[in-house]
Amino acid sequence: MKITIHFMLMTIKMMIRYIKIIGLVALLGWQNTALAADDAVMVEAFYIGEVVKNLGGGDKKASQTLGTADLSITVDTEGLGLWQGGTWFAEVIYNHGDDPSNFIGDVQTASNIADGKRKRLQQFWYDHALNDNVSLLLGLHDLNSEFYASEYAALFLNSSLGIGPEVSGNVGTSLWPEAGLAARLSLHNVQSYVNVVIYDGDPATRKVDKATEGLMMIIEAGWLNGEAAYKFGLWQHSAEKAGPDNIASPSVAGFYAVVDQPLSENTGVFMQLGLTQANRNEIANYFGAGLVMQEPISGRSDDTLGLAVARAGFSNTHQQANGVLAAETAIEITYDMAITDWLTVHPAYQWIHHPSGNPALKNANVAMLRVDIHLP
C-alpha cells in the first residue's frame, strides 16, 4: 500500500511539473484534424511519463521520474498533388529525467525511454516507392523501426526487449534517442521482404566518417502471415573496436532472429536471439522470450498483460578481464491498461538477476509506472 501511494504521489508530481510539455503536445496533436483533412498530412503527438523505483538490490535504493514528448509529421506527396510514391517523415523529441539504470546498475537498461535531458530532431527521412515491391529510403532513420523488431515484445519496458544488447551495447547503433543517417533498400510483397541498409557508424556525431566511425550494415529477411512473423538478420559494423582484453579488431559482426507467433485470438509468444563475436565484445549473446495476452480481464479488450525474460550473456573475454559473472537476466511482468482512447497506464515490475554481471551487486527489484498520453 505504501509503495502504491508513493507511486501515485510521484506520478502526480511528475505530471504537474511537466504540464507545459503535455499542453504543447496536446496543442500540436489537435492540429491534426485541420492539417490532415485530405489525408496527405498526418501529425502525431504523445507524451510518456514514468516513475521508476529500485526497491532493493542493485547499486542502491532510489527513485527517478523521467519522460519523453514526441511530435511526428508524415507527408504523402501524392496526396498533396505532387509526385507519386513519396513519403516524408520528421520526428522531434524532448526528453527529461536521468537514467534509472544509474542506480539500478543493470547493463540492459530497465527503462526504454531513459535518456536524460535532450531536445533533438530524431528522424527526418524520405521514402520513395519505385513500384509496388521496391522502395528506397534516405535520411535520419531509427534502425529499430524496421530492423530487429518484435510486435509482441514492444509491450515491455526493458530496452533489450526492443533490440538485443549484443547490438545496442557493443557498437554505435542508430536507435532512439540518437538516430543516424541511413540509406535503405526494401524489396517486399504481401508476405515476405528483404531489407538492406547502411547506417552512419556513430549517430551521435551526425556525420559520415567511414575511416574513423565506420558504417553499420544490416540485411534482414522476413516472412509474415497475419500476426505471425519470422525475421532473420545479419549485421556488420566496420569500425575498429578494442575488445574487453584491449586487443583491437577491424570490425564486428553478428546474427539475430525474431519470431512472433500467435497461439490464439488473444495470446501470442515471441522469441529473440542474438549472437556476435565473443572475443570482440562485452556482450556475446542475447536471448529474449515472452508471452503476451490481449484482454486478460473479460470486457477490457484494449488491455494487455505480458511476461518476458531478457538475458544478456557476457563473453568469456569480458568475464576474465573484468571479473564479471556469466550473464544478466531481467524478468518483467507488465500490464498496459487503457483508461481512455488517449490515455493508458502501464505498471511493470522487473527482477534483475546479477545486474551488469557484477558479483558485488544483489539482485535488483524494480517497480515502474508509466503514463502514456497519445493524441490523434
**pLDDT tens for each residue of 40-64:** 999 999 999 999 999 999 999 999 9
294 Cβ contact partners less than 8 Å away, ≥ 6 residues apart: 266, 267, 301, 303, 304
CA–chain centroid gap for 296, Å, is: 24
Is the per-residue pLDDT at 215 higher than 50? yes
Left (φ > 0), alpha (ψ -120 to 50) or beta: where does 43 sit? beta
Is the per-residue pLDDT at 117 higher than 60? yes
Sequence letter at residue 189: N
So what's the pLDDT on residue 232? 98
Terminal Cα distance for the chain, rounded: 35
Q: How confident is the model at residue 30 (pLDDT cuts 50, 70, 90)?
A: very low
What is the distance between the alpha carbons of residues 117 and 94, in angstroms, rounded to a whole number?
7
Average pLDDT, integer, range 262-288: 96
DSSP 10: H
So what's the pLDDT on residue 22? 47
Buried b (16+ CB within 10 A) or exposed e, 297-318: eeeeeebbbbebbbbbbbbebb
So what's the pLDDT on residue 19? 45
Average pLDDT, integer, range 260-285: 96
Average pLDDT, integer, range 321-326: 95
255 Cβ contact partners less than 8 Å away, ≥ 6 residues apart: 232, 233, 234, 235, 274, 275, 276
Label residue 182 exposed, middle or buried (CB < 10 Å: 0-12, 13-18, 19+).
buried
Is the per-residue pLDDT at 287 higher than 60? yes
Which residue matches cell numbers 505504501?
Answer: 2
Strand partners, 237: 216, 252
Radius of gyration of the chain (CA): 21
Q: Which of 65-74, 196-205, 239-248, 330-339 has the lowest mean pLDDT?
A: 239-248
Average pLDDT, integer, range 181-191: 97
Average pLDDT, integer, range 322-329: 97
Strand partners, 185: 136, 196
Average pLDDT, integer, range 3-16: 49
What is the distance between the alpha carbons of residues 240 and 215, in angstroms, rounded to a whole number?
11
Average pLDDT, integer, range 96-124: 97
What is the distance between the alpha carbons of residues 242 and 297, in angstroms, rounded to a whole number?
50
What is the distance between the alpha carbons of residues 63 and 351, in angstroms, rounded to a whole number?
16
- Provide φ and ψ at 134, rounded to 5°: -135, 130
Is the per-residue pLDDT at 29 higher than 50? no
Polymer length of the chain = 376
164 touches 256 (CB < 8 A): yes
288 Cβ contact partners less than 8 Å away, ≥ 6 residues apart: 153, 160, 161, 164, 270, 271, 272, 273, 308, 309, 310, 311
Is the per-residue pLDDT at 110 higher than 70? yes
Strand partners, 195: 186, 220
Label residue 35 exposed, middle or buried (CB < 10 Å: 0-12, 13-18, 19+).
middle
So what's the pLDDT on residue 206? 85
| CATH class label, 2-375 | mainly beta
What's the Cα-to-Cα distance from 346 to each of 40, 134, 146, 334, 338, rounded to whole Å?
Answer: 32, 38, 24, 7, 9
Average pLDDT, integer, range 356-360: 97
Is the per-residue pLDDT at 12 higher than 80? no
77 touches 86 (CB < 8 A): yes
For residue 368, give the C-alpha cell.
515502474
User: Which segments within the chain are labelled E, that is strand?
Assistant: 41-58, 62-76, 86-96, 118-129, 134-141, 180-188, 192-200, 215-225, 228-237, 241-242, 248-249, 252-262, 267-276, 283-294, 304-314, 327-338, 343-353, 362-375
